[in-house]
Structure formats: C-alpha cells, structure tokens
Amino acid sequence: MENKNLLISIDGERRDDMSDAQAELLRARATWLMITEPGDQAAGAIIREHGPIVALQIALNPESRFNSNFRRWQDRNPGEQRISEMLLVAAKDGQRLLIPEHHSWPHGLHDLRDTMPHGLWVRGDLDVLRRTKLAVAGSRASTAYGAHVTAEFVSAFAQHRVTVIAGGAYGIDGAAHRAAIAVGLPTIAVQASALDRPYPQGHSELLRTIPDRGGLVLSELAPGSAPTRWRFQQRGRLIAALSRALIIPEAGARSSAIRVAHTARDLDRAVFAVPGPITSSASTGCHALIREHVAELVTDPEDLKRIALLPSETKEQ
C-alpha cells in the first residue's frame, strides 16, 4: 500500500482527509514502535507476512501468550489510552510519524528486510531524504586531526546535492553535522533515544538547530524512550541503510563506527576510511577496516566526488 496523501503528522485524532483504514494503519505502526525494540526480526517477519494491522491483532491476542515473542510484546503494550497520549505528546513536540507506506519513506531502509523500522519519528524537512545521502561515522573521542579531516571532506560536498547523515554524538558525528550546517548542506541526525529526549544532552542545541537549518532529526524510538546500549547498536543499521556511502574519518579499534562499517558493507554500500598517523590509537580502527578490505582507503575529498556527483535516484536511498 502506498498513498502519497497518507497523513504523517500525528495529533491523536483522525483528520478529515484521512480514511479509517489509514488511521488504523498509522496507529498500528505507532503501537509496534512502542511494544518492540529496534531490530526485532520476529516482529518484522510477522508484519511482512500479515501486514501491520492484522499482525498486531495476532500478537496482542491473549490466547497467543504461549508464544514468547507475543508475550513480550503484550507485556509492553501500554493500551489504547496510552497510545493516544503518546501521539499527543509527539504532536505537541513537533514530531511527525513517517511510516513505510508513505511515499517519503527512504527506499534504502527496505534493504534491512525484517529489521526495517516500523516507522520513524521525525522533526524537520522530509525533502532531504530525496537527496544523495552520505553517512559519516567515527570516534566520539576524536582528535583535532579527525575533526579537521571530517570538516574537509564534508565541506567538499558543498556544491553538490548531498545530505550528510551522522548519529548526533560527540566527536566525529558532531563535527560532520556542524561542517554540513556551516557550508549550507542539509544534515540528518539519527538518534538512539526519543526525539523528546535528545542525547547526548550536550548536543541538545545542535539537535534543535539541525531541523531549523533545513535538516532532519529522526528516531525509531517512541516519545519518552531513553537510550540504551542495544539502541545505540541498532542505530548504526539505520545510518548504514539510509546512506549511499559511508566515510569514517577517524575511529579507534573499539569504536562503534566499526560495526556501522560492517553493516554498510553487508548492505552493499560503499565504505571509505581515512588513514591516520600510525602512532595514533584514534585511527587504528580505520587502518583495520582498510587492511581487512571492509573499507576503501581515501585520502582526498576529490576521491569521493564520484559518489556525490551521481544523480539523485528516483527511489530514495
């Protein structure tokens, strides 16, 4: 089902231009986001087989509690009243719910198959999803070298129709977002917490600035949800799937960017890593990715322009 007029702005009530079927679909998607954790393959499989509405009816049937997955989802089900309250909270916070049935849904997310998010809470301009998207990931404890390289690469795309994606974290992520804003490029911040609980708190102002400057912040976590280790890990799959290519300017051996790089490679995305000083532990992750042929070595923004200069796809990625 694809409907270009499907409502994506939630206010807890049915709009005049919204059919009963559309309202039911939207509420079903919102409910799935509340009763599951990101990357729940079992939920994705039952939705793929039955659709979100029927799948929800099956999953929440009390007679289905013998199934451990169904029991887990039922235990997390807040009920109709709480769902309505959550939708109102989101609306007052300026959030919208983008679902896979809407024409603005990023095509690249379908590559996640059963781990595709049931929807995305968004704040900002959805048009940025139509651009060629380049993801940036790297160390939170970045060095001056890493910040400089990040700004240099992101700035090189100023003349091209590119959206810069990152995770909104300290270090390389923050450098990528700020560099994009500085040169007038839209940027997308993918959060591991709800949009009304920006994390890290030290980037609250940056996360507010991004949509104000033509960008987008998004999350698959329902309003009020806090970040967890698992949610941080699963955020990486969204960053990888949303992008055409991933660049890692600086990453240590244990950086979460390493996981994102492997996910991007598994999704057949182009992956690039910038080498650093051999004496710097902050670049050992990049060196390992290059050595293991997960990432292609890149030392100059010009090397990446062939990615940025590709025409925008008719289907977004």
One of 2.40.170.20, 1.10.1060.10, 3.50.50.60, 3.40.50.450 is the CATH number of 124-308, namely 3.40.50.450
Residue 51 burial by Cβ neighbours in a 10 Å radius (0-12, 13-18, 19+): middle
Report pLDDT for 74. 94
Q: In this structure, what token pair is assigned to residue 8?
A: 């994506």
Q: In this structure, what token pair is assigned to residue 3?
A: 């409907």
Rounded-to-integer distance, Cα 104 and Cα 101, Å: 9
* Residues, the chain: 317
Contact (Cβ atoms closer than 8 angstroms) between residue 289 and residue 271? yes
Q: Compute the radius of gyration of the chain from its Cα atoms.
A: 20
DSSP letter at 17 equals T
Closest by alpha carbon to 124, among 173, 185, 187?
187
pLDDT tens, residue by residue, 107-145: 999 999 999 999 999 999 999 999 999 999 999 999 999
Q: In this structure, what token pair is assigned to residue 81?
A: 């009243």
- pLDDT for residue 308 is more than 70: no
pLDDT band at 317 (very low <50, low <70, confident <90, very high): low
Listed by start position, the domains of the chain span 124-308
Q: Could you give the maximum distance between any two Cα atoms of the chain, in Å?
A: 63
- pLDDT for residue 280 is more than 50: yes
Contact (Cβ atoms closer than 8 angstroms) between residue 222 and residue 89? no
Mean pLDDT of the chain: 90
Rounded-to-integer distance, Cα 200 and Cα 213, Å: 20
Q: In this structure, what token pair is assigned to residue 283?
A: 């670049």
DSSP letter at 315 equals S
Closest by alpha carbon to 26, among 3, 60, 50, 59?
3
The H or E element spanning position 187 is: strand 187-190
- The SS3 call for residue 116 is coil
Mean pLDDT of 95-112: 95
Bridging pattern class, strands 296-297 and 270-273: parallel
Contact (Cβ atoms closer than 8 angstroms) between residue 136 and residue 155? no
Rounded-to-integer distance, Cα 308 and Cα 291, Å: 25
Report pLDDT for 17. 62
pLDDT tens, residue by residue, 35-94: 999 999 999 999 999 999 999 999 999 887 778 889 999 999 988 888 888 888 888 889
Torsion from C-alpha of 172, 157, 244, 2, nearest 10 degrees: 110
